[in-house]
Amino acid sequence: MTTLNPTPAKLFAGTGLTLAAGNALADYTWNFPKPVTPIARDTLNIHNEFMVIITVLFVVVFAIMVYSMIKHRKSAGAEPAKFSGPAGALQWFWVLVPFGILLFIDFVLMGIPAFHAVIEMEDTRTKADMVLKVTGLQWKWKYEYPDSGIQFVSTLTTPREQIEGKEAKGEHYLLEVDNEVVLPVGKKVRILLTSTDVIHTWWVPQFGVKRDAIPGFLRETWVRIEEPGVYRGQCAELCGKDHGFMPVVVRAVPEAEYAAWVDKKKAEMAAAAAGGDRTWTKDELMAAGKSAYEKNCAACHQPEGQGLPPAFPALAGSKIVNGPLLSPDGKLLPDSHVDRVLNGKTGTAMQAFKATLSDADLAAIITYERNSFGNTKGDMIQPAQIKALR
């Protein structure tokens, strides 16, 4: 099922042209990167076959034209013929032959392998071993493993200084994240995709998989990674200002290693949840808030809280941030600072952060924002309070 039956075209595709086009170059700069899933391998084979076909078509057709341009020049003494269409059965035959060939190329040589590849690519459910849910957010990816309850957000870690040219760029410039997705090798992973704001597209070239993440809908695709390794890709659908800065990094590991990772991740999540239950000091909240702010908020509201108005308002001196924290009886005030951070603002890039951040992070960020950038509210909110407000 993973490989197609050899057709004459595939055998043909294995010849010199394909080699010259890419396979011979180890780093694949001239072609798709090295495939590591059945789909990617099929896609590369199909692509190579098609490239051979269109190269042959191109060369044959334009060889005829170039021959004519050399031979039938006025300066070479050519006399123009008078014909303006096929005359006689023989000419009609030669006129129709190219279209017969093209029909064959379109719907047999290209059409049949393409058909099988589509069916395979869309078969997301048969014998799926596990599910990974991917949610696109401006401008990061959230990953959930429904089987084990693991969930985390994956954000770009390339420092601003590298992007702005103040530091040398690292090896994985723009293609590195804080939390890599870890998947077991050899398992069929059904990937469900959605988004919380605008359309994003999840793409890892070496998987041969690219699928849109659409707000309010679930889309699906699948991978079966055949080799351990780290595979990098990017968001492929324009999704706003930091579209170029939301990479996808997948680490494929052997099954035992994957199981160990799951246990470790579960323990981390339990520890983080426990952090939400105890009472924090203000200094702790401010310190945690600063780092969480820089990771989650600074891209739009800027490190010093000055924002990028009018799309991304300033927090420094903001009416909302400097407004009351909660109602006197501890309830959420509509359109207040806490409401904005937890529930976002519809129709803008301000997302509902309660979906992605822990109670501790939310409490820390809110406390930090109210006591930084010249804001001096002096109050704070505890993770336990956030938990109650969810």
Partner 1 sequence: MNTATHTLDHHDGHGHHPTGLMRWLTTTNHKDIGTMYLTFSLLMFFLGGAMILGVRAELFQPGLQLMKPEFFNQLIGVHALVMIFAALMPAATGFANWMIPLMIGAPDMALPRLNNWGFWLLPPAAMLLTMPFVLALFGIGDGAVATGWTLYAPLSVQGGIGVDFAIFSIHILGISSIMGSINIIATILNMRAPGMTLMKMPLFCWGWLVTAVLLIITLPVLAGGVTMLLTDRHFGTHFFNAAGGGDPILFQHLFWFFGHPEVYILLLPVWGLMPHVLSTFTRKPIYGHTAQVWSFIAIGVLGLIVWAHHFLTAGLPVPALLYFMYSTMSISLPLAVLFFCWIATMWRGAMSFETPMLFAVGFIVLFGIAGLTGLVLADVAADAQYHHSYFVVAHFHYALFAGGIMGVMTGVYYWLPKWTGHMYSEKLGKLHFWLTVISFNFTFMPQFFLGLAGMPRRIPDYALQFAEFNAISTVGAFVLGLSQLIFAYNVWRCVKGGEKASDKVWEGTSGLEWELSSPPPHHSWDIQPVIKTS
Residues in 54-113 at the binding interface with partner 1, rule: CB under 8 A: 54, 57-58, 61-62, 64-65, 68-69, 72-75, 78-85, 95, 98-99, 102-103, 106-107, 110-111
**Residue 346 or 376 with smaller CB distance to partner 1:** 346
Q: What is the DSSP string of 186-243?
A: T-EEEEEEEESSS-EEEEEGGGTEEEEE-BT--EEEEEE--S-EEEEEEE-S--STTG
Q: Does 237 bind partner 1 (CB under 8 A)?
A: yes
Least separation in angstroms between residue 68's CB and partner 1 is 5
CA distances from 347 to 197, 246, 299, 315, 357 (A): 8, 21, 18, 19, 20
**Residue 46 or 315 with smaller CB distance to partner 1:** 46
- Per CB under 8 A, the segment of 182-190, 191-199, 268-276, 282-290 that binds partner 1 is 191-199
Parallel, antiparallel or unpaired: strands 188-195 and 130-137: parallel
Interatomic CA distance for residues 315 and 374, integer angstroms: 9
Number of residues that bind partner 1 (CB under 8 A): 101
Interatomic CA distance for residues 84 and 202, integer angstroms: 52
Least separation in angstroms between residue 44's CB and partner 1 is 8
Q: Which amino acid is at 295?
A: K
H or E stretch covering 339: helix 337-343
Q: According to CB under 8 A, which one of 12, 129, 151, 245 is a site residue for partner 1?
A: 245
Q: Which of residues 300-319 bind partner 1 (CB under 8 A)?
A: 308-311
Least separation in angstroms between residue 170's CB and partner 1 is 9
Q: Which one, of 265, 298, 231, lies nearest residue 143 by Cα?
A: 265
**Residue 120 or 284 with smaller CB distance to partner 1:** 120
**Residue 305 or 313 with smaller CB distance to partner 1:** 313
Q: Does 332 bind partner 1 (CB under 8 A)?
A: no
Residue 384, token pair as written in the block: 């336990």
Q: Which one, of 157, 142, 133, 136, lies nearest residue 237 by Cα?
A: 136
Least separation in angstroms between residue 296's CB and partner 1 is 18
User: Residue 240: which region, alpha, beta or left (left: phi > 0; alpha: psi -120 to 50)?
Assistant: left
- Per CB under 8 A, the segment of 147-155, 239-247, 253-261, 361-369 that binds partner 1 is 239-247
H or E stretch covering 39: helix 38-71
Q: According to CB under 8 A, which one of 220, 226, 257, 284 is a site residue for partner 1?
A: 220
Q: Which one, of 371, 389, 390, 369, lies nearest residue 327 by Cα?
A: 389
Q: According to CB under 8 A, which one of 13, 132, 235, 292 is a site residue for partner 1?
A: 235
Q: Which one, of 156, 386, 182, lies nearest residue 289 by Cα?
A: 386
Q: Which of residues 127-186 bind partner 1 (CB under 8 A)?
A: 162-165, 169, 171-175
Q: Which of residues 29-58 bind partner 1 (CB under 8 A)?
A: 29-33, 39, 42-43, 46-47, 50-51, 54, 57-58
Least separation in angstroms between residue 128's CB and partner 1 is 17
Q: According to CB under 8 A, which one of 191, 225, 349, 380 is a site residue for partner 1?
A: 349
Least separation in angstroms between residue 93's CB and partner 1 is 14
Interatomic CA distance for residues 208 and 219, integer angstroms: 16
Interatomic CA distance for residues 267 and 157, integer angstroms: 23
Q: Does 383 bind partner 1 (CB under 8 A)?
A: no
Q: What are phi and psi of 134, to 5 degrees?
A: -115, 125
**Residue 199 or 314 with smaller CB distance to partner 1:** 199
**Residue 78 or 230 with smaller CB distance to partner 1:** 78
Name the residue with tokens 């997302």: 351
Per DSSP, 327 falls in state -
